[in-house]
Amino acid sequence: MRSDCPLNYGLEIFGDKWTLLIIRDLMFFGKRYYNEFLASDEGISTTVLADRLSLLERQKIIRKRKDKEHKQRIVYSLTEKGIDLLPVLINIGLWSDKYASRLNPHRDIIIGAAKKDYMSGIEEMKRRLYDIHLQ
Amino acid sequence: MRSDCPLNYGLEIFGDKWTLLIIRDLMFFGKRYYNEFLASDEGISTTVLADRLSLLERQKIIRKRKDKEHKQRIVYSLTEKGIDLLPVLINIGLWSDKYASRLNPHRDIIIGAAKKDYMSGIEEMKRRLYDIHLQ
DNA sequence: CCGCATCCCTATAGATACTG
DNA sequence: CAGTATCTATAGGGATGCGG
């Protein structure tokens, strides 16, 4: 499966049904805790979640830390490498929005800004993610 | 796994390691025949290839026809729905190009135009794909 | 030969139950 | 709460068959 194609590099990391959904949860839905990811609509199982979180951390796409206030909780957040996946997620969202028959509730959260003005929408969202995840 | 999230719609279709590689071959490398896809660097197996081609056809992302000249050969091409995946592929490529340590030979073919000027690069490539695939 | 479909077998992904 | 252990289902590789 290894190859030097630039597309393949990305697909080796997030080319499965679950990885990008975790990133989506961090990126658009403000989730930060293990049990919040577990509670996603798609019903990710705990083995898959643990596996993908550790993969994403090894790839330096997310970062894990202890919660400052509740020392026993673990907080997940995006790195810059993770935030840079924003245009990928946005464009999957734009494509799905164009071709999915069924409307859906999270549409505006994910592609609202980018649909008005792609470039400035992306920039605005990116700034917000920097504030939240890179403090 | 079903949910109404717009990201999930796309991931249900191409959220695996192989589907987008076939689209890449159609989109950037000018491949059109079954045996050309089989010969990809990543070594897709014939069972997986047949499965994904039929999936992509059912999803109306690709179209299959008889070759005009060699009647016994089958030609695959992208539909408009398939061509609209261009920004997704491009952005995976841009991200990989930023973070993959290993350089690779197909870099320019995939992200060259989009890196100079994203919007006009995409438009230019899209026009070329329309010419080739939608005749 | 070309484009698959089928069969078999193995590797891996994923669901459930359980634990520090 | 944040995972592991265990078990099972499924995906995928390779060989082969088969119609056009």
* Alpha-carbon gap, residue A107 to A104, rounded angstroms: 6
For B71-80, the pLDDT digits (tens) are 789 999 999 9
CA distance A118 to chain B (A): 9
* Alpha-carbon gap, residue A100 to A108, rounded angstroms: 15
Question: Which CATH number is A6-133's, of 1.10.10.10, 2.40.50.140, 1.20.120.50, 3.90.75.20?
Answer: 1.10.10.10
- The residue among B40, B36, B78, B32 whose CA lies nearest residue B59 is B78
Please indicate if any CB of chain A lies within 8 Å of the CB of B11: yes
- pLDDT tier at B87 (50, 70, 90 boundaries)? very high
Q: Identify the closest residue of chain A to B100 by CA–CA distance.
A: A9
For A59-115, the pLDDT digits (tens) are 999 999 998 888 789 999 999 999 999 999 999 999 999 999 876 778 999 999 999
Q: Please, are residues A76 and A64 in contact by the beta-carbon 8 Å criterion?
A: yes
For B40-72, the pLDDT digits (tens) are 999 999 999 999 999 999 999 999 998 887 878
Q: Give residue limits of the domains in chain A.
A: 6-133
Task: Please report the beta strands in chain B, taking only residues with DSSP state E, as ranges in sequence order.
Answer: 62-66, 74-78
Please indicate if any CB of chain B lies within 8 Å of the CB of A106: yes
pLDDT at residue A80, rounded to an integer = 97
CA distance B63 to chain A (A): 17
For A19-69, the pLDDT digits (tens) are 999 999 999 999 999 999 999 999 999 999 999 999 999 999 999 999 888
Q: What is the pTM of this model?
A: 0.95
pLDDT at residue B102, rounded to an integer = 73
Q: Please, are residues A64 and A53 in contact by the beta-carbon 8 Å criterion?
A: yes
